[in-house]
Amino acid sequence: MREEADVVVIGGGVTGCGIAYNLAKKGLTDVIVLERQVPCVGASGRCGGGIRQQFTTDANITLAMESVRLFEQLSVELDTDIEYEQGGYLIIAYEDEVDQFKRNVRLQNSLGLESRFITPEEAREIVPLLNIDPIAGATFCQTDGHANPFRVVHGYARKAQKMGVEISKFTAVTGIVVEDGQIRAVKTDKGTIKTNTVVNAAGAYSRDIASMVGVSLPNKPYRHEILVTEPVEHVLDPMVISFKTGVYFSQQKHGPIIGGIGDPEEPSSYNISASLRFMKRMARTVVELVPAFGHLNVLRQWAGLYDVTPDAQPVLGWTEGVDQFCQANGYSGHGFMIAPKVTELIAELIVDGKPSMPIDDLNLKRFEGEITGEAYVVG
């Protein structure tokens, strides 16, 4: 492991590896990524791979739209098939959600996103197996979709390494040395690395990293569970999601249905065990929407952590009080889909001193004021 680096990135998920790749692409290759296990072991390797642009804040819509533009060329750029498909996202609308969803579509359209509100019958044309009895409509955006997170993370990591970045596996960060507000070094269980610039991309553990230098992040970790079924013939093009019930599911390229459901009773914790409660709630909710899925066998279930902020938007950029300490965390359950743009912007911030799109509204400082947040969250 090198003893000195221009930039130390903490965390080997899609954020850390994506930032390392984008730094190297801009010519800054004296970079080390510190990962306490292996790349993709955290939320990135446990996620549903969904990529949607239908959000309710300008920042999230724009970051997601820009990311889709980058996802569209990522297989070529990373020399690996990221299994990217644009089958759309169908967001189920129940009666009391209809007016708000129509307003959300208007906001999305005003930013250039081609989402639309559709009737239950139109929703059934897109998903023929859908039970439309309980629903009042849906919103749909064809350019939403999904990709394989393992291929994206390892694609970023491999390309970054080829350009000179070091990815240090099984290396846990244990402290950050700061003198007079300046970063001097990062301490790990394998030794100390001298540096002036640190990126905090440790996912749900980012608040622990920040607290090493006395910075308080409002982020909280929450367990989210997910499952995958046996593969079946192709029956589902889009990701189907409901923010009322918290359920989402899509079909992977080789046939399995993958999906999860949020749990409003889940306390904040670092627990990533699998539960029977999840399996029962998931099965009941999915089968109400797609009765035919009652015949599917579940192959595997697992859990990962959301890193949730008070407004469900990420924390990005420099940190007041600690020079050259960059935050790239707090994705609140949608960090994979916005990673291509976010990681490019963070690299621009570090190398050029200014990102090509303003990210000031996503700075940690925003939590000092009034908070209005993203509504489309799997809670």
Ligand X SMILES: Cc1cc2nc3c(=O)[nH]c(=O)nc-3n(C[C@H](O)[C@H](O)[C@H](O)COP(=O)(O)OP(=O)(O)OC[C@H]3O[C@@H](n4cnc5c(N)ncnc54)[C@H](O)[C@@H]3O)c2cc1C
**Binding-site ranges for ligand X (CB under 6 A):** 10-16, 34-37, 41-44, 46-50, 172-173, 201-205, 224, 226, 260, 304-306, 329, 331, 333-337
Q: How far is the CB of 133 from ligand X (least distance, A)?
A: 27
Residue 46 or 104 with smaller CB distance to ligand X:
46
The amino acid present at 276, given as its one-letter code, is: L
Give the residue among 96, 93, 90, 95 at the shortest CA–CA distance from 129: 90
Residue 139 or 313 with smaller CB distance to ligand X:
313
Q: How far is the CB of 46 from ligand X (least distance, A)?
A: 5
Residue 110 or 271 with smaller CB distance to ligand X:
271
Residue 119 or 174 with smaller CB distance to ligand X:
174
Residues in the chain: 379
Give the residue among 340, 352, 315, 368 at the shortest CA–CA distance from 199: 315
Q: How far is the CB of 43 from ligand X (least distance, A)?
A: 4
Residue 41 or 136 with smaller CB distance to ligand X:
41
Alpha-carbon distance of 133 to 290, in angstroms, equals: 11
Residue 53 or 329 with smaller CB distance to ligand X:
329
- 241 near 333, Cβ under 8 Å? no
Task: Say if strands 50-51 and 197-200 run parallel, antiparallel, or are unpaired.
Answer: unpaired
**Residue 153 three-state SS:** helix
- 55 near 376, Cβ under 8 Å? yes
Measured CA angle at 206 (ends 14, 315), to 5 deg = 75
- 56 near 365, Cβ under 8 Å? no
Q: How far is the CB of 339 from ligand X (least distance, A)?
A: 7
Q: How far is the CB of 174 from ligand X (least distance, A)?
A: 7
Q: How far is the CB of 330 from ligand X (least distance, A)?
A: 9
